[in-house]
Amino acid sequence: MTLLVENLSPGLYIVATPIGNLGDLSPRAADILSRAAVVAAEDTRVTAVLLRHIGTKPPMVPYHDHNADQMRPQLIARMASEAVALVSDAGTPLISDPGYKLVRDARAAGHAVVTIPGPCAAIAALTLAGLPTDRFLFAGFLPSKAKARSETIAELGAIRATLVLYESGPRLAATLAALAEGLGDRDAAVTREITKRYEEAVTGTLPVLAARYADAPPKGEIVIVVGPPGAPPPASSEDADAALVEALTRLPVAKAAGEVAKKFGLDRKELYARALALKDA
């Protein structure tokens, strides 16, 4: 790999790094890392391995949740005259990872912000899961405490999209059990060690997956993908009538029919006729 040597323009460079296989580092990412004045890394020990792999050794500073408030002004100041590269331990920075405040403050200071896209565990898991991808929500890690976790799952359950969650091996069984209880018999996938030697994607319903991992916590980085809820059951005529009666207390007939049609996915003309009958009754 031939790396350029001239200096980069000043600013912030958001660099995606491999999530497992070092061969997934793009030539552009390697070039940026080799020419940056400084690399802001979540864990400098982890990033050092990657930098050795591409044969470069730029200065590094730690940038993570515990020191971000202290380090951010220093990095912003350096961006006025230097290229600062931001990396996480693996994957795309800012995805379940500190960094968005650095981007926001860099823009506010008038500095250039450049992204160097690449691996992302959430997106990679979606490609392996075989679940709908036209709409999806990345929800990061669920809360560790049972009550907060159940409340979050109930909130997510109403969203008509595929859900993507990060999880660790020791917590996987409890999380899958909570998802099965809160979301029911949805299709799902547990992916782990993506791009590594023991990459695995196990599919099934949430109850089946919860049973599989109940007494066998796996190792490695894990992404859970949960399919969207099925179509709601058709509304009964009693439900539609009740909604129409309520809507007619607030709206003209046409608008009441339109509101209920949208809510239940029913024919607007039929509801309009029914609303007229209810109003005259």
pLDDT computed for residue 98 by the predictor: 74
pLDDT at 1: 47
Q: The pTM is what?
A: 0.80
For residue 194, report the phi and psi dihedrals to the nearest 5 degrees.
-60, 135
Give one DSSP letter per residue of 184-247, joined into a string. Answer: -S-EEEEEESTTSTT-EEEEEEHHHHHHHHTT-PPPS-EEEEEPPPPPPPPPPHHHHHHHHHHH
Q: What is residue 7's predicted lDDT score, i.e. its pLDDT?
A: 75
Task: Give the pLDDT score at 154.
Answer: 94
pLDDT at 232: 64
Predicted local distance difference test score (pLDDT) of residue 2? 47
Q: What tokens does 42 get? A: 């979540």
Q: 39-74 burial by CB neighbour count: b if 16+ within 10 A, else e? A: bbbbebeebeebbeebebebebeebbeeebeebbee
* Structural tokens at position 188: 């799902």
Asked if 92 and 13 touch (Cβ cutoff 8 Å), the reply is no
Q: What is the pLDDT of residue 262?
A: 82
- Residue 51 C-alpha from the chain's centroid: 27
Per-residue pLDDT tens digits of the chain, which is 281 residues long: 444 456 799 999 999 999 999 999 999 999 999 999 999 999 999 999 999 999 999 999 999 999 999 999 999 999 999 999 999 999 999 988 778 999 999 999 999 999 999 999 999 999 999 999 999 999 999 999 999 999 999 999 989 999 999 999 999 999 999 999 999 999 999 999 999 999 999 999 999 999 999 999 998 889 999 999 986 667 788 888 898 899 899 999 999 899 888 888 788 898 899 889 888 76
Structure confidence at residue 278 (pLDDT)? 86
> d(Cα 144, Cα 128) in Å, to the nearest integer?
26
CB atoms within 10 A of CB 2: 7
Q: Are 189 and 125 in contact (CB under 8 A)?
A: yes
Copy the structure tokens of residue 218. 């796996």
41: which strand partners? 62, 87
β strands within 59-199, DSSP E: 60-62, 83-87, 113-116, 136-141, 162-167, 187-192
Q: What integer pLDDT is reported at residue 261 of this predicted model? A: 87
Measured distance CA(58)–CA(56) in Å, rounded: 6
Looking at residue 55, what is its pLDDT? 96
Identify residue 232 by its one-letter amino acid code. P
* Residue 6, pLDDT score: 67
